[in-house]
A and B are shown apart, each in its own frame.
Chain A
Amino acid sequence: MKREHQETIGGAGSSNGNKAESSSSSMATGKGKLWVEDDQDAGGMDELLAVLGYKIKSSEMADVAQKLEQLEMVLGSEDGFSHLASDTVHYNPSDLSGWVQNMLSEFNNLPSTDLDSSILLSNNQDSQPSTITSLDFSNNSQSKVFVDDSEYDLRAIPGVAAYPQKEFDKSNDRKRMKLTPDGSSTAPAVAVNSLQSSNSSCSPSSSQQAIMAVSGTLSEPTRPVVLIDSQETGVHLVHTLLACAEAIQQENLKFADALFKLIGPLASSQAGAMRKVARYFAEALARRIYKIFPQDYCLDSSYSDTLEMHFYETCPYIKFAHFTANQAILEAFANASRVHVIDFGLKQGMQWPALIQALALRPGGPPAFRLTGIGPPQPDNTDALQQVGWKLAQLAQTIGVKFEFRGFVANSLADLEAEILDLRPPEVEAVAVNSVFELHRLLDRPGDIDKVLGSIKAMRPKIVTIVEQEANHNGPVFLDRFNEALHYYSSLFDSLEGSGLTPPSQDLVMSELYLGRQICNVVAYEGADRVERHETLAQWRTRFDSAGFDPVHLGSNAFKQASMLLALFAGGDGYRVEENNGCLMLGWHTRPLIATSAWRPAAGDSQLPSQ
């Protein structure tokens, strides 16, 4: 079910800080073209504001201006301001109209359920030990509707915001479901554009074109580069790597070989992250030049799980993924008495203890919790899924949460059918579908991702949480993929350097190996073997939007909590959480590296009872 896209310049914080021109000649014409001549584009969005990260229709502007004036006038008192500042959960600042409206509504809701909220407050504070002390938050006060509680144990998910009162629920839903059928305030449509690549020397294959046709459009390519010190002196090394990749693309293997031999000494002269990254990329290039293709990337999942565990310990990316996804799930499960999480990649189940604990701490008691874990077949026929399920069951028992587990083995998520999951109707059980770094594997075969998105809809979930790498490692042009990956993994490796672990720490070495395998897959593999087909948030948005999902926005409370999580990591200075049109991204300095988004089937798309 295709939704009507508005052509817009594209949203905040993402790659689309540029003006979309219908002839896409902006890149070719070079200099000269200055500022906005015409303040409106075809979609009716104000162009000036769009470039600055705010989506607002020209027709809405007078109304928004009036609301801004209203807010200005009613918020003369300090009390009014501090309430909005400290208690209100903000969503998607790019939707200026929605944001302003939200605050007006919040302000109007000010005097309300004092008694209920103070009960909620005291429950939370009793049960959550305080561990975070360094950050200052606004004072609690009885008259507030709910307070974003700053005291929490990392293992539990904090915040009264996760347990909204019924009254707040309505306005929450209003926020989230203000996506009207005519498509206003939808997820930002990406500027319609033909496939662009600055170095395209070959046209996309027909399967790629089919994928593009299905998914809609490809966003304009961007290449965010963050250089860390040594990379400046390593520029020669980078150029050599790129030249080698280009030679391979042109199938000039003799030249590629000559360049490859230069890389070793150049890499050795570098320090730290740059050297390590270069080595992995060089190795991957070597596989292509000398045609060494081991087939074992996917086979040993327990090996890759082990590596991932070390990566999990070393840096905050996976923790951030789990944390933000859990927050969205928790909020979606707010009033349900039976809940069911379907995890598309159970692995070691590291995401779930925190959620189980948070559910246990829910005022009014935990819901019954069902977990369905999906995983690949094991080479030695051990039932890895059951083992994980068993451990989680033990944890659930000790903290008093009713728990059920089911494991499903599948070679591919596309093999999954909603029917076999033994789902109960949405009135009985709230379902969450969770996918952390799994969906991109489906992108090799066109149709697989669509099948899976269809299955997800058939599961009638309350929420779908998706975490993916924020990079385009799935473009059709090898050199572009290589360049993208080089910069992406350079940032990742650099953040590992900043982790404060001194070599030869096992965690560090394993983490690097974990990433190194991904690099190898992106660069040296093709076809079905190339599973690390990362795509950007903008690309995923287009897919989900086209497939009939509405975004569920992650708000300022999740953002704040994620920021606090990061502050606990050594070398935390470089990590940045960023809000992007309702999604949250974690990056190293200014380079976003992973993105969490949440979705639900579009209203009116299924037989969901209205909530």
Chain B
Amino acid sequence: MAGSSEVNLNESRRIVPLNTWILISNFKLAYNLLRRPDGTFNRELAEFLERKVQANTIPVNGVFSFDHVDRTTGLLNRVYQPAPENEAQWGIAELEKPLSTTEVVPVIIFFHGGSFTHSSADSAIYDTFCRRLVSTCKAVVVSVNYRRSPEYRYPCAYDDGWTALKWVKSRTWLQSGKDSKVHVYLAGDSSGGNIAHHVAVRAAEEEIEVLGNILLHPMFGGQQRTESEKMLDGKYFVTIQDRDWYWRAYLPEGEDRDHPACNIFWSEWHKSRRTGVP
């Protein structure tokens, strides 16, 4: 990679808008500092560098948010909702009535990215994104602050995703529509997309209704490199080498990238025969 790095940098700089390029390059640089060759992670420095924002029950651009913590597990979810029409209701979290008794209001459970290691539900980049999601989709978004590697490996992130799904499904105040149920979609980018996928598979197995998955450049892999992996290595901020580090940090010790968490195509063959998940 070192040899061709100059070419790679120039290419992404040509294509990507400057402010985006700076943002992602900044992350890349920071992340390089945080990953240690021995597989440990500098969590303190990571938390120091992370730009976070608080929830805000006062609507901004039509969206408000609040955090919920499950005391027993410590799992935090950040809930984003469209602002109430009635200004008098601003600044308060309404937890008694359903979202609507007539219309369907989708609830998108969102898993942030960060290769299982970085970022949180209250990261500024993800807070901003979730707010946009609410505005664009006229949906409620629940962003899950799942446990991260290397401190918490597989299957912790999936377990937290599952817990979040159950939690969302059981909130009366997230129900909508004439059928009074919570209309759930799962979404995620990068590792979040991976989590969304695996939670959806489990939901299908356990007959919890998920209406759809929205996967944004989801993070999967395998022992064998794909053509696009080889072609794009280092071209757009991401390298095979750093991907390998993150898989080593997430997968159980001793497992390789053909582990079903990472390589879903291998094991999908087995799964699809039982659950009918396409």
Contact = CB atoms under 8 A, between A and B. Distances in A.
B221 to A, nearest CB: 23
A239 interface: yes
A416 to B, nearest CB: 35
B131 to A, nearest CB: 8
Interface residue SS majority, chain B: mixed
Nearest to A56: B22
B52 interface: yes
B158 to A, nearest CB: 21
Contacts of B69: 226-229, 574, 589
B68 A563 contact: no
A73 B2 CA distance: 8
A82 B42 CA distance: 11
B51 A93 contact: yes
Contacts of A33: 61-62
Contacts of A590: 52, 54-55, 67, 76, 78, 122
Contacts of A578: 47, 52
A224 B124 CA distance: 14
Interface residues of B, number: 72
A156 B137 CA distance: 53
A283 to B, nearest CB: 22
Contacts of B177: none
B56 A223 contact: yes
A225 B122 CA distance: 13
A75 B54 contact: no
Interface in A220-238: 221-230, 232, 235-236, 238
B72 to A, nearest CB: 8
A483 B135 CA distance: 26
B272 interface: no
Interface residue SS majority, chain A: mixed
Interface string A428-443: 0000000000000000
A52 B20 CA distance: 11
Contacts of A563: 44, 47
A266 interface: no
A78 interface: yes
Interface string A376-398: 00000000000000000000000
A56 B29 CA distance: 17
A61 B61 CA distance: 27
A85 B34 contact: yes
Contacts of B63: 31
Contacts of B122: 590
B118 to A, nearest CB: 14
Interface string B145-171: 000000000000000000000000000
Given A14-B54, A19-B61, A82-B36, A93 B67 contact: no
B82 interface: yes
B37 A78 contact: yes
A304 to B, nearest CB: 29
Contact of B26 (A30, A51, A54, A576): A54
Contacts of A81: 32-33
Contact of B49 (A14, A28, A30, A90): A90
B15 interface: no
A583 to B, nearest CB: 12
Contacts of B36: 82, 85, 138
Given A17-B128, A136-B40, A90 B45 contact: yes
Given A33-B61, A93-B49, A15 B18 contact: no
A223 B135 contact: no
A85 B2 contact: no
B18 A62 contact: yes
Contact of B22 (A65, A84, A94): A65
A238 B127 CA distance: 26
Nearest to B74: A573
B11 to A, nearest CB: 12
Interface in B40-96: 40, 42, 44-45, 47-49, 51-63, 66-72, 74, 76, 78, 82-83, 85, 87-88, 90-96
Given A52-B128, A68-B26, A235-B95, A223 B58 contact: yes
Contacts of A48: 19-20, 23
A560 B26 contact: no
Interface in A59-101: 61-62, 64-65, 68-69, 71-73, 75-76, 78, 81-82, 84-86, 90, 93-94, 96, 100
A13 B52 contact: yes
B132 A34 contact: yes
A609 to B, nearest CB: 33
A309 to B, nearest CB: 28
B19 A46 contact: yes
Given A48-B20, A225-B55, A225-B66, A85 B33 contact: yes
A577 interface: yes
Contacts of A242: 92
B37 A227 contact: no
Contact of A71 (B29, B47, B94, B127): B29
6 contacts: A15-B56, A17-B127, A18-B56, A226-B67, A232-B95, A564-B44
Among all A-B residue pairs, the 6 with the closest Cβ atoms: A53-B51, A31-B62, A17-B53, A224-B54, A18-B60, A85-B33
